[in-house]
């Protein structure tokens, strides 16, 4: 397995896989596959993929430790960056399609809806992580400081989950948030247990 993970083509394949959900959404948007309320469907799908990306990012290290596939480590940053891209698309789709980039309406909405505030905070917290995702940034910061900064992911996961939970709480429709809570909780506990 490690041989495959270290193959030169593994990175492009991983990027391709990470891009697939976005490609399928573009396809759906172009060919009417987003249903009666395409804006709502797009915003929600991008949010779902952001959460899945967070879970995947958090899963890499426990999975590596569990299986001994050390080659997994080289994809951790790619998955993290892809998650940031989905989060940015998710927030931008909301700001554009729902709020039409009207700053006053945006600020009012963020103030009015706690789940929007929490989601926006989670996205903002991803910014420093994305900004330091380059090799040069790791060298410049030093490994320890870089790792400490990127531990922010352990907070962003639960905050993003709270955003989703709150959004669904209006209709008491909490099955999916509960599943994500189990996954994210489990992945964070795996670290704790290991340490």
Partner 1 sequence: LPGARSNVAGAMLMEQATAYADVTSYNNFYEFGTDKSDPARTAGSLKPRPWTVMVDGEVRQPRRFDLDELLKLAPMEERVYRLRCVEGWSMVIPWVGWSLAELLKKVEPTGNAKFVEFTTLADRAQMPGLRSGVLDWPYREGLRLDEAMHPLTLLAFGLYGEVLPNQNGAPLRLVVPWKYGFKSAKSIVRIRLVEKQPLSSWEQAAPQEYGFYSNVNPQVDHPRWSQASERRIGEAQGLFAKKRPTLMFNGYEAQVGQLYAGLDLRKHY
Q: Which of 19, 33, 35, 185 binds partner 1 (CB under 8 A)?
A: 35
Asked if residue 87 lies in contact with residue 163, where contact means CB atoms within 8 angstroms, the answer is no
Task: Map residues 57-96 to x or -, x wherever contact with partner 1 holds by CB under 8 A.
Answer: ----------------------------------------
Q: In Å, how far are 52, 89, 91, 136 from 47, measured between CA atoms? A: 9, 9, 8, 30
Confirm or reject binding of residue 24 to partner 1 (CB under 8 A): no
Q: Sign of the CA dihedral 164, 167, 171, 172?
A: positive
For residue 73, the number of C-alpha atoms closer than 13 Å in the C-beta half-sphere is 6
Whole-number minimum distance, CB 50 to partner 1, in Å? 19
- Applying the rule CB under 8 A, the residues between 96 and 155 that interact with partner 1 are 97, 100, 105, 108-109, 112-113
DSSP class of 134: S
Q: Which of 29, 125, 149, 188 binds partner 1 (CB under 8 A)?
A: 29
Whole-number minimum distance, CB 10 to partner 1, in Å? 34
């Amino acid at each position: 397995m490690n041989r495959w993970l270290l193959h030169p083509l593994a990175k492009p394949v991983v990027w391709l896989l990470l891009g697939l959900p976005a490609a399928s959404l573009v396809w759906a948007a172009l060919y009417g596959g987003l249903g009666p309320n395409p804006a709502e469907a797009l915003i929600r799908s991008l949010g779902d993929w952001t959460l899945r990306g967070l879970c995947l990012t958090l899963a890499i290290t426990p999975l590596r430790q569990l299986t001994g596939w050390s080659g997994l480590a080289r994809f951790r940053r790619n998955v993290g960056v892809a998650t940031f891209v989905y989060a940015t698309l998710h927030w931008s789709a909301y700001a554009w399609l729902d709020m039409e980039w009207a700053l006053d309406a945006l600020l009012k909405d963020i103030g009015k809806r706690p789940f929007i505030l929490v989601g926006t905070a989670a996205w903002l917290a991803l910014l420093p992580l994305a900004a330091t995702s380059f090799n040069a940034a790791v060298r410049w910061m030093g490994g320890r400081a870089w790792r400490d900064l990127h531990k922010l992911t352990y907070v962003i996961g639960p905050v993003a989950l709270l955003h989703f939970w709150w959004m669904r709480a209006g209709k008491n429709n909490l099955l999916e948030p509960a599943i994500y809570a189990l996954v994210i909780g489990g992945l964070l506990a795996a670290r704790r247990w290991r340490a």
